[in-house]
Structure formats: C-alpha cells, structure tokens
Amino acid sequence: GSDVDIARAADQFGIPWPVGPASSSIKGDYGVSVLPTTIFIDRSGALHGRHVGQLSYTVLVAAMPR
C-alpha cells in the first residue's frame, strides 16, 4: 500500500517501530526477493538479521535489536 496505508495499519496494530513499503531500492539494498521479509536494523543502521515469511509478534519482538 501507500505510505499513508502503511502508517495507518501500523497505528491500528499498535506497532511502535518504523515500517515502510518495499521499494525497489530497499529490496535491492537488502537482498529482498520474497514478501513478506522483515529486516532488523539497529539505531546506528547496522543490519542485525532478516526473516523471510510471516512471523509472530513474539518472535518479532524477541528478534528486535536492543
């Protein structure tokens, strides 16, 4: 969806971290070939991991960089 759709969905589901669309530049930069793919990036911009496919909230929160 659009940036507005994504922001609305994140708000609706109470997601406090940044989310964004899978633009072709983001897909290329992070090697994303399948959606959904979740990329874990810390505050300094370092890549901490990638998960391909759907994942549960519990697994998502546990995998978030501290």
Q: Which stretches in the chain have pLDDT values below 70?
A: 1
CA distance linking residue 56 with residue 12, whole number of Å? 17
The pTM (predicted TM-score) of the whole model is 0.66
Contacts of 52 (CB under 8 A, 6+ apart): 34, 36, 37
**Which runs of E-coded beta strand occur in 1-66?**
37-41, 47-52
**Whole-number pLDDT of residue 11:** 92
**Whole-number pLDDT of residue 12:** 93
From 59, 60, 58, select the one nearest 19 (Cα to Cα): 60
C-beta of residue 15 within 8 angstroms of C-beta of residue 60: no
